[in-house]
Amino acid sequence: MHDLVIRGGTLVRPGGLEQADVAVDGDQISAIGPELGAAKLEIDARELHVFPGVIDAHVHFNEPGRTLWEGVASGSRALAAGGGTLFFDMPLNSLPCTVNASGLAQKLEAMQQNAATDFALWGGLVPGNLAHLPDLAAGGVVGFKAFMSDSGLEEFPRADDYTLYQGMLKAKELGLPVAVHAESEELTRGLSESALAAGKRGVRDYLQSRPVLAELEAIQRALLLAQQTGCKLHLVHVSSGQGVAMVVEAKAKGVDVSLETCPHYLFFTDEDMERLQGALKCAPPLRSRRERDHLWQRVLDGQVDLIASDHSPSPPELKKGEDFFKLWGGIAGVQSTLSVLVTEGYDLRGLSLEAIARLTAESPAKRFRLARKGALEAGYDADITLVDLGSKFVLREQDLLQRHPVSPYLNRSFRGKVRQTLVRGFTVYFGGRALEGAWGKLARPGL
């Protein structure tokens, strides 16, 4: 007698789609096949697609310290509503930042007390914290995040080339990747200062202060450092097809590099940023339609490793004002990744469901060595999302489970409603409601 059997769904697996039952015993998938035996609990999935739970490798839930901006409880429930079962929390926006053992202990406590889904943690790489990287590694971080341009937060200073170089040498020793926000500080700072000096404060002025060139210059430098040190590199939120092309070339030369892009770079363009203003402010910024289409082509060609939300909300008042440069930069989209990929990718551009599962589950689990995560396979954690691909819906404020109902995706139409999300076999989201409680556990590399 199994604990749970999910009956007759269409499973999205690396080898293709397959109609089968999924049996769950304890935390794990115990069997996959036709007409599995009796169970204490059954879910009828005959009309549904069964995806591996979405792994969001890039969120800022801002706890401890800035829970008024989001918080782990609301952030993780919003993730679950979007089909997510595991998030990687970034080392900044929380106070303290996760840059040493004590910061990590406080972050871990906040997670354990509040996370509705499983979680993993990024450590930070900042000037002066090299000696703390081994402690962070011992505490189970998936890697070290650094900013090549100003992070916007004083408490998380950007990594200069020396810090990046030394950090990569240390990270290599520890067997962990370094993740970088790749934009050139010199170019973005110079362009911003000259815009501000000329009294230019609008969306277009902001866009011009962070051109694709600034991204490409930083990617190139990060790739060179990774090549020279042998450190694994992960490029977060690459916003341009040209950036992807640069990474593809480096991979061909043997550099151990992966890259993510975000749903907002695939869904929106610079024109949307002018229309929606603060809700779409982010760095790197949104790009032209042409650049957006180029990025999509790279996704369709299988050249993007993974897609993560970079959910980074703030209170609504920080998103409003005349001076666009001063608004908080960060998009709140943790609930919409799968919806965007199904609607804009599968429906509109022919992206396969298997590719969606690879981009949102299999690939992040493999890259960050989470051995029991990311696939519908016996022996893997039963992190499962049931999606009704036949359904259409419009995202409304009341559907959002995050703290502040600010999202650029509001009032947009999507296909593929998430019906149910299970974390290690336990239902954390069903019928529009998410679990109140802390079911989540830390996922550590190698385990």
Annotate 41-105 with three-state secondary structure.
EEEECCCCEEEECEEEEEECCCCCCCCCCCCHHHHHHHHHHCCEEEEEECCCCCCCCCCCHHHHH
Closer of 310 and 362 to Zn ion (Cβ): 310
Closer of 312 and 421 to Zn ion (Cβ): 312
First to last CA, the chain: 28
Closer of 225 and 332 to Zn ion (Cβ): 332
Chain centre distance of CA 116:
17
Distance (Å, whole) CA 157 – CA 148: 9
Chain centre distance of CA 372:
19
Closer of 10 and 62 to Zn ion (Cβ): 62
* Least CB distance to Zn ion at residue 305 (A): 16
DSSP assignment letter at 437? S
3-state SS, residue 20 = strand
Strand 178-181 relative to strand 233-235, pairing: parallel
User: Which token pair is 143?
Assistant: 């890697």
Identify any residues that bridge with 149 across adjacent strands, giving them in sequence order: none
Which residue's CB comes closest to Zn ion? 310
- 23-62 residues near Zn ion, rule: CB under 5 A: none
* Least CB distance to Zn ion at residue 141 (A): 16
Closer of 29 and 55 to Zn ion (Cβ): 55
* Least CB distance to Zn ion at residue 314 (A): 12
* Least CB distance to Zn ion at residue 406 (A): 16
* Least CB distance to Zn ion at residue 49 (A): 29
Binding mask 297-336 for Zn ion (x = CB under 5 A): -------------x--------------------------
* Least CB distance to Zn ion at residue 234 (A): 12
Strand 143-147 relative to strand 118-124, pairing: parallel
Closer of 60 and 232 to Zn ion (Cβ): 60
Closer of 28 and 98 to Zn ion (Cβ): 98
Strand 384-394 relative to strand 49-52, pairing: antiparallel
Closer of 305 and 310 to Zn ion (Cβ): 310
| DSSP letters for 350-418 | ---HHHHHIIIIIHHHHHTT-TT-SS--TTSB--EEEEEEEEEEE--GGG--SSS---TTTT-EEEEEE
205 binds Zn ion, rule: CB under 5 A: no
- Dihedral angle of Cα 348, 349, 351, 357, to the nearest 10 degrees: -40
* Least CB distance to Zn ion at residue 187 (A): 20
- 84-143 residues near Zn ion, rule: CB under 5 A: none
Distances (CA, A) of 92 to 88, 122, 152, 260, 272: 12, 9, 10, 18, 27
Closer of 64 and 416 to Zn ion (Cβ): 64
* Least CB distance to Zn ion at residue 350 (A): 29
* Least CB distance to Zn ion at residue 260 (A): 10
Residues in contact with Zn ion, counted by CB under 5 A, come to a total of 1
Distance (Å, whole) CA 219 – CA 248: 12
* Least CB distance to Zn ion at residue 313 (A): 11
Closer of 156 and 380 to Zn ion (Cβ): 156
User: Which token pair is 156?
Assistant: 């998380």
| DSSP letters for 191-221 | HHHHHHHTT--SHHHHHHHS-HHHHHHHHHH
Residues engaged in binding Zn ion (CB under 5 A):
310
